Amino acid sequence: MLPGSLQDEITLPDGTAVLVRPITPADAGALVALHARLSADTIYRRYFGARPHLSPADVDRFTRIEGRARFALVAARGTDLVAVTRYEGRPGETSAELAVVVDDALQRQGVGRLLLGRLFDVARVAGQEVLVADVMAGNAGMLGLLRRLALPGRRESDGDTVTITFDLTALELPPDRADRARGHLARAGVDVPPS
Ligand SMILES: CC(C)(COP(=O)(O)OP(=O)(O)OC[C@H]1O[C@@H](n2cnc3c(N)ncnc32)[C@H](O)[C@@H]1OP(=O)(O)O)[C@@H](O)C(=O)NCCC(=O)NCCS
């Protein structure tokens, strides 16, 4: 079976399944709808400020994968998006910034951890060496989630923001996780070197 045809699902505590897949431009409407459902607090923690609407330019950028430099995974229930995680770097560089957001109604059910874990695997397979997370110092949820991932990371803080720098070269992927990550990259049409 080609890696791109593998299906990736997360099962929620209530037993329902959520599909994990790369974002596509066809998700534009669903991304706008997810943003419209987010609480002001969730938006503030994700974007470091108020952002009542996503601009058309944001939606365009957020729904386009760019080779190995910019990638996003979504958790989808039917045509609805319930979570998005992304990394973004510059083409040709091996360092990128990460972000994640989960629909308020589904927070604290394991979606963020499972989705972000997969994003780390994708970044590793895509050849990223460093992922950086900028987190508001009071964002206990994100800081807890990053701790829970238990990956080696350097932590710095200027008081308002905690910056955690993860060294992906230290991440040894078991074959099943590497295959799953390759599947996501293949589905998005991103070429990666053979393992
Ligand atoms: C941060 C966020 C992504 C976490 O996603 P989530 O799906 O709710 O988190 P999970 O259920 O996967 O939690 C994983 C672990 O993170 C920690 N955690 C998550 N939410 C937490 C909270 N509110 N307080 C403390 N720890 C928390 C816990 O250790 C948790 O494991 P446990 O439930 O077994 O104890 C989500 O709350 C969110 O979208 N927040 C707003 C946007 C944001 O802050 N984005 C990050 C900006 S870079």
pLDDT at 6: 66
> How much is the pLDDT for 195?
72
CA of residue 149 to ligand 1 center, whole Å = 11
Ligand 1 closest atom vs CA 41: 41
* Residue 51, φ and ψ in degrees, nearest 5: -155, 75
Per-residue pLDDT tens digits for 1-21: 345 456 899 999 999 999 999
Q: Domain-by-domain residue ranges, the chain?
A: 3-186
Residues in the chain, total: 195
User: If you take atom 1 of ligand 1, which residue's CA is the nearest one?
Assistant: 142
Q: What is the CATH number of domain 3-186?
A: 3.40.630.30
Minimum CA distance residue for ligand 1 atom 23: 141
Measured by CA distance, the residue closest to atom 43 of ligand 1 is 46
Token pair, residue 21, equals 């897949």
Q: Please name the residue whose Cα sits nearest to atom 36 of ligand 1.
A: 102
* pLDDT value at residue 132: 97
Mean pLDDT, the chain cut into blocks of 10 residues (195 residues total): 68 94 98 98 97 96 95 96 97 96 97 97 96 97 94 94 96 95 95 79
pLDDT of residue 2: 43
Closest protein CA for atom 41 of ligand 1: 42
Pocket of ligand 1 (CB under 6 A): 42, 45-46, 99-102, 107-113, 133, 135, 139-142, 144-145, 148
Distance 170 CA to ligand 1 centre (A): 24
Nearest CA to ligand 1 atom 12: 110
Contact 194, 182 (CB under 8 A): no
pTM of the model: 0.96
The closest-lying atom of ligand 1 relative to the alpha carbon of residue 134 is: 48
Ligand 1 mutation target, pool 106, 142, 149, most atoms within 8 A of CB: 142
Query: Residues 194, 170, 62, 83: what is their CA dihedral angle, to the nearest 10 degrees?
Result: 110
Task: Give Cα 191 to chain centroid, integer Å.
Answer: 19
Q: What is the pLDDT of residue 165?
A: 97
